[in-house]
């Protein structure tokens, strides 16, 4: 043994021992056994922790997880006989093999090979609609990021969880495991407009966040921080890329919240989280949200004002007959043909118009209904 130590060196022995220590618990069957019942715990878009007869979404605490016979791991970073390891700090997912089936698609404008996992009880008409929505989301987003499908495609799983818990058309009642570079969840029914919008949002984050972290162009989007800009892009795409002819409803809703905030009339909004008067009056009206801000600041800044401001810019560009659009500008930025969003606007809009647009994002200007009406008309014709 002494001769071996001399030859391979102490560091190599330490590395070897680390590997042995890591794998011994797995070989001995000491992987983490996911309980049959897990108390549901809410996450950002629904139940992050949840257990049922055919699916479990759980906190693995960075331990190898036991995969019982008849079950399989979804989105694991490493697997072996009867065990799986999941990404640090993200939920693990196990599904019962006989309760799910798979359909694969290869979107023409995206580098991803998408495996759609859905319950076997899903009807053929429903899965056709799911496939159409998923394919559209990957194609539109891939094109926006100048994606070029490679011969060796990147595998990604879309897990359909609609109907597994509560009412699949309402907030916080569906199953939403943590999204990652490997897995996205489709949490609402195929006929839910909001479900399609949220899935487009998830695919946008696959490209602008999960795929490789913050991308270089995001550092150039002053005055926004990287996270702010990621949400600006993703929330705008929710409406811009949806296949539904009813997408104007979302724009009208967003504008209603904005009007209520700007006028101080919280009674205009009946739905949470904007129907609490005391909280409503404290909202910081800006897309730029400081770390550790109150949740309502994130809800308004990132999910109302961000998409509405981008839509308003699109409306302004339509009114000015500039022959460009938000989508064209973002495509150029992602391709490296442009750098800062507002710098690009200055090439086609007046200084006053650009300053007004900045005011919308920063919450110092009220967005006029005229630009919103213009973008609704433009989107209806697409």
Q: Which residue has the tokens 């006028």?
A: 263
Question: What pLDDT score does 341 carry?
Answer: 97
CA-based max dimension of the chain: 82
Question: What pLDDT score does 28 carry?
Answer: 44
CATH fold label, 99-212 = Zincin-like (3.30.2010)
Question: What pLDDT score does 1 carry?
Answer: 42
Question: What pLDDT score does 268 carry?
Answer: 78
Full pLDDT tens readout for the chain, 382 residues: 433 333 334 444 344 444 444 444 454 458 999 999 999 998 878 899 999 999 999 999 999 999 999 999 999 999 999 999 999 999 999 999 999 999 999 999 999 999 999 999 999 999 999 999 999 999 999 999 999 887 779 999 999 999 898 665 555 578 999 999 999 999 998 988 889 999 999 999 999 998 766 688 999 999 999 999 999 999 999 999 998 877 788 999 999 999 988 988 877 787 777 777 777 778 889 999 999 999 889 999 999 999 999 999 999 999 998 889 999 999 999 999 999 999 999 999 999 999 999 999 999 999 999 999 999 988 877 7
SS (H, E, C) the chain: CHHHHHHHCHHHHHHHHHHHHHHHHHHCCCCECCCCCCCCEECCCCEEEEECCCEEEECCCCCCEECCCCEEEECCCEEECCEEECCCCCCEEEEEHHHEEEEEECCCCCCEEEEEEEECCCCHHHHHHHHHHHHHHHHHHHHHCCCCCCCCCEEEEEEECCCCCCCCCCCCCCECCCCCCCEEEECCCCCCHHHHHHHHHHHHHHHHHHCCCCCHHHHHCCCCCHHHHHHHHHHHHHHHCCCCCCCHHHHHHHHHHHHHHHHCCHHHCCCCCCCCHHHHCCCCCCCCCCCCCCHHHHHHHHHHHHHHHHHHHHHHHHHCCCCCCHHHHHHHHHHCCCCCHHHHHCCCCCHHHHHHHHHHHHCCCCCCHHHHHHHHHHHHCC
Residue ranges per domain, the chain? 99-212, 219-380
pLDDT digits (tens, 9 = 90+) for 52-62: 999 999 999 99
């Amino acid at each position: 043994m002494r001769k071996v130590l001399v030859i391979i060196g102490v560091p190599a022995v330490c590395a070897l021992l680390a590997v042995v220590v890591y794998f011994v618990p797995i070989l001995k069957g000491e992987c983490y056994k996911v309980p049959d019942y897990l108390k549901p715990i809410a996450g950002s878009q629904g139940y992050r922790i949840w257990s049922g007869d055919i699916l479990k979404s759980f906190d693995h605490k960075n331990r190898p997880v036991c995969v019982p016979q008849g079950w399989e791991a979804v989105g694991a970073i490493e697997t072996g006989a009867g065990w799986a390891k999941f990404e640090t700090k993200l939920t693990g997912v196990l599904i019962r093999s006989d309760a799910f089936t798979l359909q694969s698609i290869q979107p023409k404008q995206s580098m991803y090979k998408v495996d759609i996992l859905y319950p076997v009880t899903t009807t053929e008409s429903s899965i056709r609609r799911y496939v159409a929505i998923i394919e559209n989301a990957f194609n539109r987003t891939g094109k926006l990021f100048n994606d070029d499908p490679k011969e060796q495609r990147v595998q990604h799983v879309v897990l359909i969880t609609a109907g597994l818990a509560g009412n699949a058309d309402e907030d916080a009642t569906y199953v939403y495991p943590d999204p990652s570079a490997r897995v996205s969840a489709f949490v609402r029914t195929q006929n839910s407009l909001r479900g399609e919008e949220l899935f487009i949002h998830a695919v946008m984050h696959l490209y602008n966040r999960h795929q490789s972290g913050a991308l270089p162009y995001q550092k150039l989007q002053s005055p926004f921080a990287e996270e702010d800009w990621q949400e600006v892009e993703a929330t705008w795409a929710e409406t811009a890329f949806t296949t539904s002819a009813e997408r104007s409803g979302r724009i009208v809703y967003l504008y209603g919240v904005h009007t209520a905030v700007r006028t101080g009339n919280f009674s205009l909004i009946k739905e949470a989280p904007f129907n609490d008067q005391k909280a409503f009056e404290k909202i910081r009206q800006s897309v730029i949200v400081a770390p550790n801000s109150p949740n309502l600041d994130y809800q308004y800044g990132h999910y109302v004002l961000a998409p509405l401001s981008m839509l308003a810019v699109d409306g302004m560009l339509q009114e000015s007959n500039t022959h460009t659009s938000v989508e064209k500008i973002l495509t150029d930025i992602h391709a490296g043909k442009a750098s800062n969003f507002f710098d690009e606007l200055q090439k086609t809009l007046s200084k006053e118009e650009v300053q007004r647009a900045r005011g919308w994002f920063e919450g110092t200007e009220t967005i006029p209904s005229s630009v919103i009406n213009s973008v609704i008309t433009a989107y209806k014709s697409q």
